[in-house]
Amino acid sequence: MTRIALCVLAVLLIIFTVPFAVYGTLSAFTGAQPPGGSNAAFFTGVLVSKLGTALTFVLIFNAARGALRNRWPAYAAMWWLMFAFGEIGQAIGPSYSWPFAIAGIVSETIYLPLSALVTSKLLLP
């Protein structure tokens, strides 16, 4: 249980910090701002969302670890595909932009393989 908790914390740290670097770069070049009026509320919402993702990411990997041994790149790719379609879907709808969708896809391209690698190292003997 300790390994799972440490893994969830490691994945949360990865998937919470990488997007800030990517979106921060986007903001620096375009002046884009986080949605809503309060940065604290925005960051708290992101933290809660990413915590749910980290828990699910680690728990699914743990449940299927026998089948996923040495297949962490495929695991990351499946998550990437799901998130990339989500970003594209949001960009098609109102109140989301293509630059934000592209930044999201770039973030996911970095943090999902990194998270899968860390998860495999921490959970597989």
Per residue in 35-48, pLDDT (tens digit) is 665 667 777 888 89
Q: What is the DSSP letter of 95?
A: T
Does the global pTM surpass 0.75?
yes
Rg, C-alpha atoms of the chain: 15
Largest CA distance in the chain: 46
**Predicted confidence pLDDT, tens digits, the chain (125 residues):** 899 999 999 999 999 999 888 888 888 888 777 666 566 777 788 889 999 999 999 999 999 999 998 999 999 999 999 999 999 998 998 877 888 889 899 999 999 999 999 999 999 97
Distance of alpha carbon 17 from alpha carbon 24, whole angstroms: 11
Are 18 and 114 contacting, i.e. CB atoms less than 8 angstroms apart? yes
Q: Which of 10, 100, 103, 105 is nearest to 54 (CA)?
A: 10
Per residue in 103-119, pLDDT (tens digit) is 899 999 999 999 999 99
Distance of alpha carbon 1 from alpha carbon 45, whole angstroms: 26
